[in-house]
Chain A
Amino acid sequence: AQSVTQLDSQVPVFEEAPVELRCNYSSSVSVYLFWYVQYPNQGLQLLLKYLSGSTLVESINGFEAEFNKSQTSFHLRKPSVHISDTAEYFCAVSDRNTDKLIFGTGTRLQVFP
């Protein structure tokens, strides 16, 4: 069965510093990969996705993630974070045979001034 590992439950960082949130998945078949963000007391919002094509995908607010098939990873990065990026970030994987998404346990990003 598919699984997703987010190794870091919390990542504290100062404003304008770079950040990387790690995500690894277990799969021997082709997958679709997603990062979702959850702000306090809100639902999950899609941040970016990898379906096919270029392995580097970007969001509109400066985040990017790179699909690495050999390392089965899909790490999320941002070169300079803002206070407003404080949220919980979930990595998710969907195999190409079902409609289900398997979510990681989430990483709480806290940005300090």
Chain B
Amino acid sequence: DAGVIQSPRHEVTEMGQEVTLRCKPISGHNSLFWYRQTMMRGLELLIYFNNNVPIDDSGMPEDRFSAKMPNASFSTLKIQPSEPRDSAVYFCASSSSYSGRAYEQYFGPGTRLTVT
């Protein structure tokens, strides 16, 4: 099992540029989560999908952030325009639901984003 795959692993961009982070969940998992981790705020849930449908996006910071899941094997998190305060490590995680409940989440290696 390849685990959760994220790309790129590192991204350095200038303020104002568009950034797209990508995630491939574990095959067969039907829930996908995007997190952001910073020293100041710790680990924050941004949005999660179940069966490709966004269920809770209350953690998305503002309209500059958007996420999509066009199919069961791919999701993107886009920031447009990016700002220095968006610098963080972004994690994708996936899990499998049984009888409507999801159990443990499996995390990808993360994308370290630096906005200058």
Contact = CB atoms under 8 A, between A and B. Distances in A.
A20 B13 CA distance: 41
A99 B110 contact: no
A35 to B, nearest CB: 11
Given A99-B31, A99-B95, A46 B42 contact: no
Interface in A73-113: 90, 94, 96, 98-101, 103, 105-106
Interface stretch (B14-22, B63-71, B73-81, B96-104): B96-104
A17 interface: no
B95 to A, nearest CB: 7
B108 A100 contact: no
Nearest to A90: B43
Interface of B: 4, 31, 33, 42-43, 45, 48, 50, 55-56, 91, 93, 95, 97, 101-110
Interface of A: 32, 34, 36, 42-46, 49, 51, 90, 94, 96, 98-101, 103, 105-106
